[in-house]
Structure 1
Amino acid sequence: MTQTPTHRTPRWIVPGDINGFFGLVVDNLSILGFIAMALVGLFGVPADIVFTRMFPGTALGVLLGNLAYTWMARRLAARSGRDDVTAMPLGLDAPTSIGMALLVLGPAFLAFKADGLDERAAAIATWQLGMASLVVMGVLKTVLSFAGDWITRTLPRAALLGSIGGAALALLGFLPLVETLRNPVVGLVTLGLLLYVLVAKGRLPVRVPGVLFAFVVGTTLYYGLGLAGLGTPGFAVPDPVPLVFVPPWPNLGFLEGLPHTVPYLPLLLPFGLLMVVGGINVSESARAAGDDYRTRDVLLVEALATLVAGVCGGVAQTTPYIGQPAYKQMGARSGYTLLAGLFVGIGGVLGLVAGLVQWLPLAVLAPIIVYVGIGITVQAFRSTSEHHAPAVVLAFLPSLAYLLVIKLGNPAWIAPEHFTALYAQTGSHGLPELATLTTLGNGFIITAMLWATALVAMIEGRLRAAALVLLLAGALTLFGVIHSVDPRGGVYLPWALEGLRQVIAWQFAGAYAALAVVLGGLSLQAGRRTGD
């Protein structure tokens, strides 16, 4: 007698979900910490506006997106009969959140003050601008989400995973590593413990989640050394943060901010487009790890989460994280996104998130992002054909340029007027070095995908296809979608450019066209495969 196989309903919480929960929460807290540090510490935005106006709506977007991804994971598990399905993690996007703080919200706050508004009025106007910016990006991402499946079918895996692997290595690996080592004892111990429990699968003397153990040890070291006078310069115990109930109700403040978004559209639209491309990549990443989510659904959820967050006061867009395979390796399933969404969402409403951001040192928060960056970089190679590995490496390079642009564009490093002077400074040969670096970094994810796609086509002997990709890259260059000559990464009409920027744009576009012509000519010869 043959028994009909039965599928068990997946458990809501498994042990790996606890590690995943701490990892995802810390990812989000780290980014909120960077936003607060930039707005409050660098630009002087009043802290209460950041913590009680901007953070609750931002946290609501994380809550809604993670609830939706939890439901998608359980639906996939039920449909496939598997109990090892891992939910797609959702949180605040690191590159564009940093970009929003440093390139949009901070400068806008200073501009509002220069226009005569007092500090609080300028902060409120900045908050409304942030809301409107999220609404604009949310609408754009909603429209573009329906093209996700087509893009996934069209581009090679090396382009999809290579571009996101480069971002993981440079932005999720290196940038947080710098913050980790600004407090070397605390940061390196925390990072080392995370690598021990998550990569080396080492045992602990107590039965607690490895991520929690690392955080407790790191935080204890930070405050212990600091109170003993052995910490790094600038140590101070934060003031207690009272719990306050600040519900992120929908409001029409974004309508007042919409007119102020116009000067920033050249930045906001690429930010939204990058999230669509990134969402496609992480969907492919999850698929490579064994969980076949539909790209359109992944994109639509995060687009709507961003849109709702903007209407409810948020200022940083949500995105599906590139760490799904890393969370899967932790043993997380669908419970970790449920727990993390509830923690961040409810904590944002009660002020708990704001308190944790101020009490947890960055040297303890940043290492988990370093770990996720390592995991994604490794997967870019493991899930790609060995023959296409050079394309993956090539796709990493534009991210390194963007990394340097983030640091050099920080007003704390180089004053804006000095940056502008360096950007236009000519050398003994070629284009200005800083201008070239900035141009390479702007639009880095799309650039990486196009470069890797063209190289894969060359590796496979499809030179005409490679030439077409290069021609597309040249056309996008002219409008600033990639290689924008605007230091802030904005798009433009090519005939509106003047002076050095016009020269740089046409030089880059002409380079793509020239290489396309060369490859087209090579495609005409017989037996074109060489170098075997």
Structure 2
Amino acid sequence: MAAPMASRRRFGAGDLNGVLGLVVDNLSLLAFMATALIGIFGMPADLVFRRMFPGTALGVLLGNLAYTWMAHRLAARTGRQDVTAMPLGIDAPTTIGMALLVLGPAFVGYRQAGMDAMAAGEATWRLGMASLVVMGVLKFVLSFFGAWVQRTVPRAGLLGSIAGIALVLMGFLPLVEILRVPVVGFAGLGIVLYALVAKRRLPFGMPGVLGAFLVGVILYYGLGPAGLLGTGYHAPAGWQWRLGFPWPSLGFVQGLPATLPYLPLILPFGLLMVVGGINVTESARAAGEDYPTRDILLVEALATLVAGICGGVAQTTPYIGQPAYKAMGARTGYTLVTGLVIGLGGVFGYLSNLVELLPVAVLAPILVFVSIGITTQAFEATPLRYAGAVVFSFFPAIARMVAIKLGDPSIVDPAHFAALYADGTHGVSAMAVIVILGNGFIITSMIWASFVVAMIDGHVRKAAGIVALGGLFTACGLIHSVQPIGSVYLPWALDVASQSLVWQFVAAYAALAAVLLLLSLDRWNVRRA
């Protein structure tokens, strides 16, 4: 019998942990977007904070409200009081990609065409809105096929792909930021591990994330002004109220023509979010919450669409880590409060101040914990015999992390990137391989894990078919794109050198598929004891 809704705890210490973790995740991405657009490309700060932030934050608000309602509905249907809502927020890979590969370069191009800074910023903003609408429409259409993908791809492929993201992008990269201000970050990380991994009680029953946050802030603002943190301390700017209302607008219509050169980037961004949404739904199901895949994807798509129409430039996505939030004790209150904090912050402008006030070293420890939880689940929720497939699926994410963190302009500048191919004494240079392996890494991880699972189960012909599918994806750049920015293409439209690279990687998949077909013959297809 379902428990009465009134008897269910609406908000507790675990939800406070969840709020801090989810708010921190969104704040860190907003901070990156602002730093890139304002600091690197010189876009007017007022336009970023008053135009782009409010619409983006509105998508987070609406998505989290919908996921909160879905969690209450699931709790009412099952009679359980421990249901944890699916977290939703701004997507990390596409926010980084939109800022560095679409919005920033577009703004520079408008400036070089003779526009003043504000006019160029307005045009860039409309491009960002249109990009979100395009991604939202694509996600809406594909959401109706999500359940089929979930039934087709083995759990090791779904969970392994997001565990790779968690380990290296949500875990290792924040750890680097923590150790850039080690006195602050490492203390906070230790408290998170003490409270949430070792499951020890903090004084006065304080939630672990809150304890880590308070200690980090005290250390940062206590030691920093005295010069005891070296170059890790930066004095905050004064508080400013930056009001901005996310009114619906047809500005995206004006921006649609400008999206055409960027469609090879924009469409894969949307596709990856559908794949990621399927994966995180499977992750929640493994943790005990059976949310309908189609509904999770539809909410994601509609939140992105509304955000784009109302001025947002960064798409929303259900976050990986629902089991980690469940382990914190978060239930349904944390998504409701997070949505309100982020959504209202975009309107009243305090998000921009928080972005400027809170250092990454204070915010990052919770991300490391979430990455630990996700990676652990990938092994706990799949049979032990598939552990090798899960581990194998990590490698594309590691390649993506290396390409991001090196920070070498030759990795993203096409002129320099082309020279990398010539540097290889024997075949393709190692640097080019790293970037190519990392492009499309989520789908690559799913394919790699899936064909290994098929081999483990003795379905060698099926494994050959999965590998052949990988070859088709490689041919058009959906995975292993030879373009430095990871865009898709028609292989015959590339220059000769790039075509040569594409066909080498396609041939590699074809060769492996042929080998597996030979091994599938009855006389060979016997598993060792």
Q: Which TM-score band (shorter chain)?
A: over 0.9
Matched, 1:444 2:441: yes
Matched, 1:13 2:19: no
Deviations 1:160-188 (A, max 9, x none): 00001001111111111111111111111
Long gaps (5+) in structure 2: none
Name the counterpart of 2:389.
Answer: 391
3-state DSSP class of the match of 2:317?
strand
Q: Would the aligned equivalents of 2:284 and 2:323 in 1 still touch at CA under 8 Å?
A: yes
- Aligned amino acid, residue 198 of structure 1: L
- Aligned pair partner of 2:106 in 105, 108, 119: 108
CA distance in 2, matches of 1:501, 1:265: 20
- Aligned amino acid, residue 4 of structure 2: R
Query: Aligned-pair RMSD on alpha carbons?
Result: 1.5
Q: Would the aligned equivalents of 1:57 and 1:312 in 2 still touch at CA under 8 Å?
A: yes
Q: Give the Å deviation of 1:527.
A: 5.4
Q: Give the Å deviation of 1:498.
A: 2.0
Name the counterpart of 2:517.
Answer: 520
Name the counterpart of 1:475.
Answer: 472
CA distance in 2, matches of 1:449, 1:311: 32
3-state DSSP class of the match of 2:204?
coil
| Aligned residue pair count | 527
Name the counterpart of 1:504.
Answer: 501
Matched, 1:215 2:213: yes
Name the counterpart of 1:460.
Answer: 457
CA distance in 1, matches of 2:384, 2:284: 20
Name the counterpart of 2:290.
Answer: 292
Q: Would the aligned equivalents of 1:305 and 1:318 in 2 still touch at CA under 8 Å?
A: yes
Q: Would the aligned equivalents of 1:422 and 1:434 in 2 still touch at CA under 8 Å?
A: no
Matched, 1:493 2:490: yes
TM-score (normalizing by structure 2): 0.97
Relative to structure 1, is the Cα distance of residues 367 and 234 closer, same or farther in structure 2, using a 3 angstrom cutoff? closer
Matched, 1:420 2:417: yes
Q: Would the aligned equivalents of 1:92 and 1:316 in 2 still touch at CA under 8 Å?
A: yes
- Aligned amino acid, residue 487 of structure 2: G
Higher mean displacement: 72-81 or 19-28:
19-28
Name the counterpart of 1:337.
Answer: 335
Name the counterpart of 2:136.
Answer: 138
Q: Would the aligned equivalents of 1:409 and 1:419 in 2 still touch at CA under 8 Å?
A: no
Matched, 1:361 2:335: no
CA distance in 2, matches of 1:488, 1:417: 8
CA distance in 2, matches of 1:154, 1:459: 16
CA distance in 1, matches of 2:363, 2:126: 29
Higher mean displacement: 192-201 or 455-464:
192-201
3-state DSSP class of the match of 1:258?
helix
Q: Would the aligned equivalents of 1:105 and 1:129 in 2 still touch at CA under 8 Å?
A: yes
Higher mean displacement: 432-441 or 415-424:
415-424
Q: Give the Å deviation of 1:12.
A: 2.0
Q: Would the aligned equivalents of 2:2 and 2:78 in 1 still touch at CA under 8 Å?
A: no
Name the counterpart of 1:251.
Answer: 249
CA distance in 2, matches of 1:231, 1:6: 54
CA distance in 2, matches of 1:388, 1:230: 48
Q: Would the aligned equivalents of 2:411 and 2:484 in 1 still touch at CA under 8 Å?
A: no
Q: Give the Å deviation of 1:6.
A: 5.6
Higher mean displacement: 330-339 or 219-228:
219-228
Q: Would the aligned equivalents of 1:102 and 1:410 in 2 still touch at CA under 8 Å?
A: no
Matched, 1:55 2:53: yes
Q: Give the Å deviation of 1:210.
A: 2.1
Q: Would the aligned equivalents of 1:249 and 1:312 in 2 still touch at CA under 8 Å?
A: yes
Q: Give the Å deviation of 1:241.
A: 2.5
Q: Give the Å deviation of 1:46.
A: 1.9
Q: Would the aligned equivalents of 1:439 and 1:483 in 2 still touch at CA under 8 Å?
A: yes
3-state DSSP class of the match of 1:319?
strand
- Aligned amino acid, residue 329 of structure 1: A
Q: Would the aligned equivalents of 2:217 and 2:362 in 1 still touch at CA under 8 Å?
A: yes
3-state DSSP class of the match of 1:113?
helix
CA distance in 1, matches of 2:364, 2:388: 30
Q: Give the Å deviation of 1:418.
A: 6.3
- Aligned amino acid, residue 31 of structure 2: G
- Aligned amino acid, residue 395 of structure 2: L
CA distance in 2, matches of 1:360, 1:495: 48
Q: Give the Å deviation of 1:472.
A: 0.7
CA distance in 1, matches of 2:255, 2:395: 36
CA distance in 2, matches of 1:320, 1:514: 37
- Aligned amino acid, residue 381 of structure 1: F
Q: Would the aligned equivalents of 1:135 and 1:307 in 2 still touch at CA under 8 Å?
A: yes
CA distance in 2, matches of 1:409, 1:193: 30
Relative to structure 1, is the Cα distance of residues 265 and 415 closer, same or farther in structure 2, using a 3 angstrom cutoff? closer
3-state DSSP class of the match of 2:502?
helix
3-state DSSP class of the match of 2:203?
coil
- Within a 5 Å distance, the mapping from 1:61-210 to structure 2 comes to 61-210=59-208
Q: Give the Å deviation of 1:383.
A: 0.5
CA distance in 2, matches of 1:106, 1:180: 27
Q: Would the aligned equivalents of 1:129 and 1:261 in 2 still touch at CA under 8 Å?
A: yes
3-state DSSP class of the match of 1:206?
helix
Deviations 1:303-325 (A, max 9, x none): 11011001111111100001100
Q: Give the Å deviation of 1:116.
A: 1.3
Q: Give the Å deviation of 1:246.
A: 1.3
- Aligned amino acid, residue 522 of structure 1: L
Long gaps (5+) in structure 1: none
CA distance in 2, matches of 1:89, 1:338: 10
Deviations 1:51-94 (A, max 9, x none): 11111110000000000000000000000111111000000111
Q: Give the Å deviation of 1:530.
A: 4.0
Q: Give the Å deviation of 1:140.
A: 0.5
CA distance in 2, matches of 1:170, 1:84: 30
3-state DSSP class of the match of 1:91?
strand
Relative to structure 1, is the Cα distance of residues 58 and 415 closer, same or farther in structure 2, using a 3 angstrom cutoff? closer
- Aligned pair partner of 2:481 in 478, 481, 484: 484
CA distance in 2, matches of 1:410, 1:253: 35
3-state DSSP class of the match of 2:364?
helix
CA distance in 2, matches of 1:207, 1:514: 59
Q: Would the aligned equivalents of 2:14 and 2:331 in 1 still touch at CA under 8 Å?
A: yes
3-state DSSP class of the match of 2:422?
coil
Deviations 1:350-383 (A, max 9, x none): 0011111110111111221121111101111110
Q: Would the aligned equivalents of 1:95 and 1:171 in 2 still touch at CA under 8 Å?
A: no
CA distance in 2, matches of 1:407, 1:115: 32
Percent same amino acid at aligned positions? 64
Q: Would the aligned equivalents of 2:137 and 2:301 in 1 still touch at CA under 8 Å?
A: yes
Higher mean displacement: 440-449 or 401-410:
401-410
CA distance in 2, matches of 1:331, 1:246: 34
Q: Would the aligned equivalents of 2:57 and 2:346 in 1 still touch at CA under 8 Å?
A: yes
- Aligned amino acid, residue 482 of structure 2: V
Q: Give the Å deviation of 1:421.
A: 4.6
Relative to structure 1, is the Cα distance of residues 409 and 476 closer, same or farther in structure 2, using a 3 angstrom cutoff? farther
Q: Would the aligned equivalents of 2:29 and 2:95 in 1 still touch at CA under 8 Å?
A: yes
